[in-house]
Amino acid sequence: MFLVPDPVVRFFHRMASPPHFYAFTERLMPWLVVIFLLLTAAGLYGGLYLAPADYQQGDSYRIIYIHVPSAWMSLFIYVVMAIAGAIGLVWRIKLAEIVAISSAPIGASFTFIALFTGSLWGKPMWGTWWVWDARLTSELILLFLYMGVIGLYGAIDDKRVASKAVAILALVGVVNIPIIHYSVEWWNTLHQGPTVTKMDKPSIHVSMLIPLLLMALSFNVYYLIALIQRVRIELLQRERSSQWVKNKVLEVKQ
């Protein structure tokens, strides 16, 4: 730990304790919500109003301001889940276990949004709701991976054991995601349908890119908000017999 300054280490040690985390996030939450609203407003204004229409796709390309950040988040959250799970496995930090499992439904929702908006975008572009495009297909498999994590957690009654199981599964999944992704991409180039066109990311103009990045940031903050809320609820549930939760409940009652 000699590489990390002492106050930072102390901050993380304190965060690992449920009552501290609970109190700290309570104060943090309004700020996060404000930042989220500002970023979303700026991103949507830039994306839906300021950015010009695409010369080929017209206005329907604007769905990327939801679609692309969701797709990024879906992968990012899986990685967060695996890292949190690994931390929980190695150092037995309860909070990390809770972060891992609380991330799963959020990640699954982002994956679903990415799939749904992708299919909405595909209707005018490809003429069908669904094309076995490489990105859509690997996103679909990612959704199944999330479902597996959620299902496994739900199936095991003892939640400490379930958290461990989820961590192992998430780690196995995170090793496999690149392999699955590239194999699907490879499969797609061989079986490419006649109508497939690609949303090319690198050729995007700055006036479209900035709102996209703002939206990506806002989605990140949203993830943090949703995660913190879920973690807080899960903490209260798991620690319901501990003194600090009892005090909290009494506080609310008065």
Partner 1 sequence: MSLSRAFFAIIRRDLVLALRRRSEIANPLLFFILVITLFPLGIGAQPNLLQAIAPGIIWVSALLAAMLSLDSLFRSDFDDGSLEQILLSSHPASLLVLGKIIAHWLVTGLPLLLISPLLAIFLGMPTHSLGILLLTLLLGTPVLSLIGAIGVALTVGLRRGGMILSLLVLPLYVPVLIFASNAVEMAGSGLPVNAQVNILISILLMTLVLAPWPTAAALKMSIN
Nearest to 33 by CA among 230, 218, 233: 218
Contact 60, 124 (CB under 8 A): yes
Could you say which of 11, 31, 45, 186 contacts partner 1 (CB under 8 A)?
A: 186
Of residues 34 and 147, the one with the C-beta less far from partner 1: 147
Q: Which of 112, 187, 229, 242 binds partner 1 (CB under 8 A)?
A: 187
CB 78 within 8 A of CB 101: no
- Give the x/- contact pattern for partner 1 in 74-103, rule: CB under 8 A: ---------------x--------------
The residue among 95 and 166 lying less far from partner 1, judged by its C-beta, is: 166
| Residue from 3, 7, 27, 190 in contact with partner 1 (CB under 8 A) | 190
- The Cα–Cα gap between 64 and 56 comes to 14
The one among 176, 192, 207, 237 contacting partner 1 by CB under 8 A: 176
Please, which residue, 63 or 89, has the CB nearer to partner 1?
Answer: 89
Q: Does 145 bind partner 1 (CB under 8 A)?
A: yes
CA distances from 241 to 45, 214, 229 (A): 47, 42, 20
Give the C-alpha separation, 196 to 131, whole Å: 8
For 60, which DSSP code? Answer: G
Least distance between partner 1 and beta carbon 40 (Å): 32
Angle at CA 25, nearest 5°, toward 24 and 31?
110
One of 16, 165, 204, 236 touching partner 1 (CB under 8 A):
165
Query: Minimum CB separation from partner 1 for residue 218, in Å?
Result: 30
Closest CA to 219 of 85, 60, 111, 100: 111
Residue 155 in the binding site for partner 1 (CB under 8 A): yes
Contact partners, residue 39, CB within 8 Å, separation at least 6: 214, 215, 217, 218, 221
The rounded distance, in Å, linking the Cα atoms of 193 and 197 is 9
Residue 172 engages partner 1 in binding (rule: CB under 8 A) = yes
Q: Which is nearer to partner 1, 65 or 97 (CB)?
A: 97
Q: Residues interacting with partner 1, by CB under 8 A?
A: 89, 141, 144-145, 147-148, 151-152, 155-156, 161, 164-165, 168-169, 171-173, 175-176, 179-180, 183-184, 186-187, 190
